[in-house]
Chains A and B, each alone.
Chain A
Amino acid sequence: MKSISLRVNGRLYNIEVRDNDRLLEVLRDVLGFKSVKMGCGVGDCGLCIVLMDGRPVNSCLVLAARSDGSEILTVEGLGGEKELHPLQQAFIDVGASQCGYCIPAALLVSYSLQVGKRNPSSEEVRRALRSVLCRCGSYLRFEEALKVAGRDERGDSEKV
């Protein structure tokens, strides 16, 4: 067992992990962040994506022991029922959520893109969202949601 410190959604956790525990399992099963979804388990589908030190990573490929000292953001830290993040609201407004399974990952990838660049181009959005496999095929609505959230943030009056 190894002792590690993780700051998840702004809160510091000191936990014991085994060498074969992955970040995905620790976030879901130990710390209870159920938005982090198990998909393929080998880095192909991107459903387990979290932001690690500000960058999207597949948490199924990260050994928890190697994430010691990292800062993690999951969708629970983005916004909740009482106060949705503008991106979450935009996903609802444009009907981007179909089955919902990939939505936490899609939100985090979209959020990291939005933080890095205020007005990403369609090409940049599509490139970033390659990390997430959406079986419902909602990519165009993810893209639309990003545009809507960007407009709302800038206070543009144009409606979709």
Chain B
Amino acid sequence: MVSNTIGLLQLPSITLLTPKTLDEAVSLMVENPDAPIIAGGVYIISSIIDRRIRPSKLIDISKLDALRKLEKSGDLVRAGPIIKHWELAERFAPVSRAFKDFGDSYTSPSIANLATLGGSIALRHSSEDLILIMLVHDAVLKLRTASSVREVSLESYLREDSGRHIIEEIAFLNPSKVFSSFQKIALGVSYTPLVSAAVSLGRGDGGGLLCRVATSHCRGGVPGRVRAAEEAVEDGGLDHDNLELVGKTVEKEIDPVDDLTAPAWYRRRVAGVLVRRMLDQLRRALPR
């Protein structure tokens, strides 16, 4: 047993519930409505230490092999929620600019070795770079509740209250088949993102442009897609003048939070610049 040498910074008493199956995890979730679900633990443990949350129980899903998959399935990749950030960066960086940018600009590589895909998504927060990358890869979540299993787009998930659930799977477009990019402006020391954005480009069956645009602070501190900017690209193309318009559209459409780290106007302007710049770079890589 550990002596109390670290004093106040020691975690308060907690009961760790360790289900052996997904069904058991769901049962525990129902029986313990206030118990957070813990996978990587980065957010939950730091929140307990910071006294932002005071749970008496945690439901640990980190040992559930059913949630650990990372496999290609046609044009999609199906990932379990407990896949770690480093696994995604390492697997897809060689074939995807967005995933390479994600790994290269990661706040702290030692955190990437703990943090999970599902944990990031469940946070629904602007600090989670992966949410943007998943948004521009058309991610769809499979949610398990006490009474059902349902699929919901990540875009909808970020807008709705999904009730008590476990994310069972994240399906997204195979990064090797999408032209995508991710960039962020971050605080120098901590790499805490002030503004970040992701874009993807592709061609539809008829040869028309398909575009996705996502920013970290679409609504307050919640990431989301910028549909008007996507439509501006798909309708107007990728020439210089239109990309200027797309950047302005992003500025106009998003409604970022105004806080101590950056004012809202700054976030709007930078988001527009990042989107315009990434689209300009991707334009050259896109097959005609």
| Interface residue ranges, A against B (CB under 8 Å) | 1-2, 16-22, 24-26, 28-30, 38, 41-44, 46, 49, 52, 55-58, 60-63, 65-66, 109, 127-128, 130-131, 133
Contacts and interface: CB of A to CB of B under 8 A. Distances in A.
A131 B14 CA distance: 28
Given A55-B113, A56-B109, A109-B110, A20 B49 contact: no
16 contacts: A18-B1, A19-B14, A20-B10, A20-B13, A28-B5, A30-B2, A43-B111, A55-B110, A56-B113, A58-B108, A60-B49, A66-B16, A66-B62, A127-B109, A128-B109, A130-B191
Nearest to A22: B11
Contacts of B60: 63, 66
Contacts of A56: 109-110, 113
B2 A17 contact: yes
Contact of B2 (A18, A42, A60, A127): A18
Interface of B: 1-3, 5-6, 9-16, 18, 41-42, 45-46, 49-50, 58, 60, 62, 86, 104, 106-111, 113-114, 189-191
Nearest to B44: A61
Nearest to A41: B9
Interface of B is mostly: loop
Contacts of A58: 108, 110-111, 114
B41 A61 contact: yes
Given A38-B9, A63-B41, A131 B86 contact: no
